[in-house]
A = this chain, B = another copy of it.
Amino acid sequence: MGIPSYVMPEYRQNPLTKEWVILSCERQARPSEFLDQPARRESSACPFCWGNEHETPAEIARYCDANDKGSWSVRVVPNKYPAVSLNASSRERQPACNDECLFRTAPALGEHEVIIESPRHVVSLTDLTLSETEYLFLAYRDRIAAHRAAGQAQYVQIFKNVGSLAGASIEHSHSQLMALEQLPQDLEREVAIADGYYRRNGRSLMNSVLQAELEAGTRVVAESANFAAFCPFASRFPYEICLAAKTAGGHFEELQAGELGELAAIVREIIGRIESMLGPIAYNYYLRPAPFDIDSSDQYDWHIEIFPRLVKVAGFEWSTGVFINTVSPEVAAKALRSLPDQRGN
């Protein structure tokens, strides 16, 4: 077996764990602003700043205030260093391989987009204006809906890395979106668990958890008319937060502008509380919409996970999959809940 030449990104399956990885050697070319500390970069050199729009690939979408057509608040562009690819020729390269195959591959098909959250060189979601945050969540919804309508992807993963320790390679506040033609393994597992629960109990698992958390109260962090956020009972990380809709069965991509504004405000509020308590810290969040082939949305409710990167993942976690958490979610929620309101501008 010679060394294959990697023109396109590919999935490879670990035969010992059945888990897939993406091998994407082109991404090595991408710039990394960070060594161990995030370096503040001059706005003139930042490809995401106002005035440098020519440094990104052609825009997919743009959001701007109705009264300021020449400007923009949020832009969506293709990722210049995509981890997945739409190249059709890779669809044919797949060698025949059964379940016993020790070297199983699949083309890593999909689209990788970047959502630039502000024309200003800001770092965290809390640096955005409330209006920019609302456009951001509108962009999330519209892009998921567009990929759903296009009919190629099975699933869209949206995520955000803030700070070097959270894996950010560009400082300017942005989110990423991956529209994937293969359902990722964690989603496959979660969907099977949620589906089993739904068939046995006739209720959405995510919504059952949310209702139980609202009833218990001890782990609730914030609440608005339609959404609630809590520190999960089995939090992997200190100050981990899960946010979901109070009503079961709604697809994220069907949320209305008013609801998205409410959601943007509560996410910003929660991150504000985390930063108010822990300082300007690295964090990740991700949005898990339902996979597109789920008809009854009661089977899998979308949710958002937010977690500051306070601790390093060490050998025990890597070897067992079991995370050791030293801050109980009850203590974390109480501390976050008791902070003053962080909403502003």
| A170 CB, nearest partner CB in chain B, Å | 12
User: Which residues of B are found within 8 Å of A17, using beta-carbon distances?
Assistant: 186, 189-190, 193
Q: Which of A21, A164, A193, A315 has the most CB of B within 10 A?
A: A315
User: Which residues of B are found within 8 Å of A3, using beta-carbon distances?
Assistant: 218, 328, 330-331, 334
When C-beta atoms are compared, the residue in chain B nearest to A167 turns out to be B314
* A-side interface residues, number (CB < 8 Å): 92
User: Which residues of B are found within 8 Å of A24, using beta-carbon distances?
Assistant: 324-326
Cα–Cα distance between A218 and B2 once the two chains are bound (Å) = 7
Q: Check: A160 CB closer than 8 A to any chain B CB.
A: yes
**Residues B326 and A27 in contact, CB atoms below 8 Å apart:** yes
Q: Check: A265 CB closer than 8 A to any chain B CB.
A: no
Cα–Cα distance between A311 and B161 once the two chains are bound (Å) = 13
Q: A-side binding surface: helix, strand, loop or mixed? A: mixed
User: Which residues of B are found within 8 Å of A20, using beta-carbon distances?
Assistant: 234, 322
**Residues A184 and B320 in contact, CB atoms below 8 Å apart:** yes
| A94 CB, nearest partner CB in chain B, Å | 16
Q: Check: A288 CB closer than 8 A to any chain B CB.
A: yes
User: Which residues of B are found within 8 Å of A288, using beta-carbon distances?
Assistant: 319
Q: Which of A136-175 contact B (CB under 8 A)?
A: 157, 159-161, 164-168
Q: Check: A176 CB closer than 8 A to any chain B CB.
A: yes
| A4 CB, nearest partner CB in chain B, Å | 7
**Residues A312 and B166 in contact, CB atoms below 8 Å apart:** yes
